[in-house]
Structure 1
Amino acid sequence: MKIATILGTRPEIIKMAPIIDEIAKRGIDQIVLHTGQHYDKEMSDNFFRDLEIPSPDYNIHVGSASHGKQTGLMMKGIEEVLVSEKPDIVLVQGDTNAVLAGALVASKLHIAVGHVEAGLRSFDMTMPEEINRRVADVASSMYFVPTVESAINLLAEGFSRRNLIVTGNTVVDACFRHLEIAKKRGIEEESLSRLDIENMDNILTLTMHRAENVDDRKRVTSIIEALKELDQMNIIFPIHPRTKNTLQEFGLFDELDSLEHVHIIKPIGYLDFLQLTSASTLILTDSGGLQEEAITLDVPALTLRYNTERPETVTSGGNILVGSDKDAILEYVDRILSDEEFRDKMKNAPNPYGQGDSAKLTVDAIQEYYEKGLLDIKAPEDIMSSFSRKMALIDEDITVREFETKNDALIHMAYDGDEMRFPADDLNLNGMMITYDERE
């Protein structure tokens, strides 16, 4: 078996490192292809070396461009590699243009696609990431789903439960693995080292880069006004160059930079940022991945968005959506600082993304599919049989697997009262309403 992994951005490298490591430990043949989507020093071989994983076998250096041009260049480069290497499965992670390009190219070449972190939905079609993740799911053969909620998203869209593998999220594996590496190495970035975060109280780590915040004068002004009043916090803000330029255009940067409790520093490396996150009292962010990392590291998060494709962090109690609402930001920061019970509830929120064994579960599933011949994509040889779509209320003790075997059926969804349940093989259906396809 040969596994190809496609990477485009730093978060993809971070989240796929545990899987690449697990594949290597098992001696499975693998290639790693890097699109060079955001190629800079952080994307260089040093970053792979820092995470203790091999450098990519291929880098197609597409650089930054418009969505269409960048995706097209990626598809051209990826196709050349896949035609030459002929992997059995291509792994893509998340929702970037590299994911879109990799999934489309592989599926057109009749190579199985495994989508790591499949099924996330913000239901906001103005987000390019939402389009990317939906298209990648359509082109995939295996879905490595972080949570049951994400699996239900896919079931609701008509995907077969038999291809959904609930693995948890590799962000947990990555946080544990990489924090250990980071602590061994210590803080390297001088601007962060000077702050002496080990001896600093009430650290609020701020990240803000999404266009819906940064490019909207009203929203970003409201957030800045909240930051000005949070003088009980030590706000550490590794600022994205684009964010800095926009704040300067709006006349907000100098005012923010002059505040004694705000420490604006240049962007820092991942391992340094992980140490900053773990030392924080709370996180204020519009990042998707940081919502996951915060709940993994037991740090309360306030998210500067009005929706999230990580709703499990909210329902678990470790994350609160505050949008750009100044009053909401101030209210919840105050509660986290002053209300010990509230703060502890957020810190101790159960992690919906698993316990750090996602990489193992992912590679286990790939090996099982390979051994059973399920990665082979071939044109059908049998005439399609007809089937009927049905609903039924189950009044006997019978599992999903037993029902499907008995009725030559495929269950799509199970409803326990008004709650949608993921139809895992061993789920007892007694008392549930189900929807299913039955072969005629």
Structure 2
Amino acid sequence: MKVLTVIGARPQFIKAAVVSRAFVEHRPDVHEILVHTGQHYDANMSDVFFDELGIPLPDHNLGIGGGTHGQNTGRMLEKLEALMQAERPDWVLVYGDTDSTLAGALASAKLHIPVAHVEAGLRSFNRYMPEEINRVLTDHVAALLFAPSEVARTNLCNEGIANDRIRLVGDVMYDAALFYNERARKPAWFDSLSLRSNEFVLCTIHRAENTDQEARMQGIFDGLGESGLPIILPLHPRTSKKLTQMNVNLPANVTAVDPVGYLEMVWLEANCKIIATDSGGVQKEAYFHKKPCITLRDETEWVELIEGGYNALAGANSKEISNLIRSANFPRFESNIYGSGDAGRNIVEWMCR
């Protein structure tokens, strides 16, 4: 069997590493072709991940990135279609909710190649988010939908998707957290900050809904500053560019650092006190590491974390952000929402039936 896997953004590299490892360990007869669209084209945001995750470099790199959503998706569609026609895979495997995800799903569906979608069923119910459009459209053309949680499966059923296309497999990011925790690496610069474990806030900001609106950016950084706690901010290239354009200054308690590799990010997540983020993946990783999470968005696709009290929505409200950081009081992390750490194997077994 031949599987063509489409990835393009950092979180997808992590998820793909889990499933690729499961193919090698449990179905070595499967030929996987790894295609990197180039959506994350900065070396610090892409190349280093393949080295750290121990997965081979992609078989194909399409070199598409830096354009608008429409430009990126259109260019990816064109190149992916030609590649799929040449490779003739039995399955196309896509992850998450990026432009790469949608392009891979549409190209394969139009060529009548079955699509498998990892992280199916996530919904923020905000159609202004490009990620929401990507995930909804991908789910509705996929032949197999791998849901990470009961909430995700319920969302798919509520949209009329046939139950025989849905598989509740657990979350591949939990597999990754278990596998890479022991391999975590402290950043070389950390000791120079004179900070100790469990006394700093780890913050990530990258979503367009925040970075494209000066009022939201100002509100977020005002809230971070008012919290008074030391904050480490691995600075996404988009966020860095927008801060300069908007003339938004970093508060004195916020230390911006270059983007970190995955193993360094795991260490920071495991050793921080609180996580503040607009990333979907980092919200879950906070839960895996048993850290309170403050989400810098008005809604989240991981509603089960909100309902369980593990996560709190702060939006871009400066007072809400500072209050939550100063007084975070979250319940004990005793539940097991996202499976048993065997999602990768479950996905491989279902695809190979």
- Sort the TM-score into its range (normalised by shorter chain): over 0.9
Q: Which region of structure 1 is more displaced relative to structure 2, 44-53 or 204-213?
A: 44-53
- CA 1:47–1:220 in 2, change beyond 3 Å: closer, same or farther? closer
Distance 2:62 2:247 in 1: 39
Match of 1:359 among 324, 332, 344: 344
For residue 92 of structure 2, give the secondary structure of its aligned residue in structure 1: strand
Matches within 5 A, 1:276-291: 276-291=268-283
Match of 1:229 among 202, 226, 230: 226
- 1:207 counterpart residue number: 204
Does residue 1:94 correspond to 2:93, yes or no? no
Distance 1:245 1:107 in 2: 36
Distance 1:251 1:14 in 2: 34
- CA 1:220–1:60 in 2, change beyond 3 Å: closer, same or farther? closer
Matches within 5 A, 1:189-200: 189-195=187-193, 199-200=196-197
Equivalent residue letter for 1:177: F
Equivalent residue letter for 2:23: I
- 2:234 counterpart residue number: 238
- 2:315 counterpart residue number: 323
- Kept in 1, the 8 Å contact 2:197–2:272? The answer is no
Equivalent residue letter for 1:217: E
For residue 165 of structure 1, give the secondary structure of its aligned residue in structure 2: strand
- CA 1:287–1:43 in 2, change beyond 3 Å: closer, same or farther? closer
- Kept in 2, the 8 Å contact 1:201–1:234? The answer is no
- CA 1:73–1:53 in 2, change beyond 3 Å: closer, same or farther? same
Matches within 5 A, 1:23-102: 23-25=23-25, 26-27=27-28, 28-42=30-44, 45-102=47-104
- Kept in 1, the 8 Å contact 2:197–2:273? The answer is no
Query: CA RMSD for the aligned pairs?
Result: 1.8
Does residue 1:139 correspond to 2:137, yes or no? no
- CA 1:223–1:45 in 2, change beyond 3 Å: closer, same or farther? closer
- Kept in 2, the 8 Å contact 1:317–1:349? The answer is no
Deviation at 1:349, TM superposition (A): 4.9
- Kept in 2, the 8 Å contact 1:10–1:43? The answer is yes
Unaligned residue ranges in structure 1 (runs of 5+): 337-341, 369-440
For residue 194 of structure 1, give the secondary structure of its aligned residue in structure 2: helix
Alignment deviations for residues 377-425 of structure 1 (CA, whole Å, 9 cap, x no partner): xxxxxxxxxxxxxxxxxxxxxxxxxxxxxxxxxxxxxxxxxxxxxxxxx
- 2:258 counterpart residue number: 266
Deviation at 1:125, TM superposition (A): 1.0
Distance 1:60 1:224 in 2: 36
Using structure 1 for the length normalisation, give the TM-score.
0.76
Equivalent residue letter for 1:283: I
- Kept in 2, the 8 Å contact 1:238–1:266? The answer is yes
For residue 168 of structure 1, give the secondary structure of its aligned residue in structure 2: coil
Distance 2:344 2:306 in 1: 24
Alignment deviations for residues 120-177 of structure 1 (CA, whole Å, 9 cap, x no partner): 1111111111111111112110000011111111111111111110011111011122
Using structure 2 for the length normalisation, give the TM-score.
0.94
- 1:103 counterpart residue number: 105
Equivalent residue letter for 2:259: P
Larger radius of gyration: 1
Does residue 1:292 correspond to 2:255, yes or no? no
For residue 348 of structure 1, give the secondary structure of its aligned residue in structure 2: coil
- CA 1:269–1:139 in 2, change beyond 3 Å: closer, same or farther? same
- Kept in 2, the 8 Å contact 1:36–1:59? The answer is yes
For residue 31 of structure 1, give the secondary structure of its aligned residue in structure 2: strand
- Kept in 2, the 8 Å contact 1:95–1:133? The answer is yes
- Kept in 2, the 8 Å contact 1:219–1:324? The answer is yes
- 2:3 counterpart residue number: 3
Distance 1:52 1:224 in 2: 36
Distance 1:205 1:317 in 2: 19
- CA 1:196–1:81 in 2, change beyond 3 Å: closer, same or farther? farther
For residue 61 of structure 1, give the secondary structure of its aligned residue in structure 2: coil
- Kept in 1, the 8 Å contact 2:278–2:295? The answer is yes
- Kept in 2, the 8 Å contact 1:285–1:303? The answer is yes
Task: Provide the aligned length of Structure 1 versus Structure 2.
Answer: 351
Distance 2:214 2:161 in 1: 41
- CA 1:194–1:306 in 2, change beyond 3 Å: closer, same or farther? same
Deviation at 1:51, TM superposition (A): 0.5
Higher relative contact order, chain-length normalized (CA < 8 Å, sep 6+): 2
For residue 119 of structure 1, give the secondary structure of its aligned residue in structure 2: coil
Alignment deviations for residues 22-61 of structure 1 (CA, whole Å, 9 cap, x no partner): 0112202211111111222246554212101122111111
Q: Which region of structure 1 is more displaced relative to structure 2, 359-368 or 210-219?
A: 210-219
- CA 1:77–1:175 in 2, change beyond 3 Å: closer, same or farther? same
Distance 2:61 2:69 in 1: 19
- CA 1:282–1:4 in 2, change beyond 3 Å: closer, same or farther? same
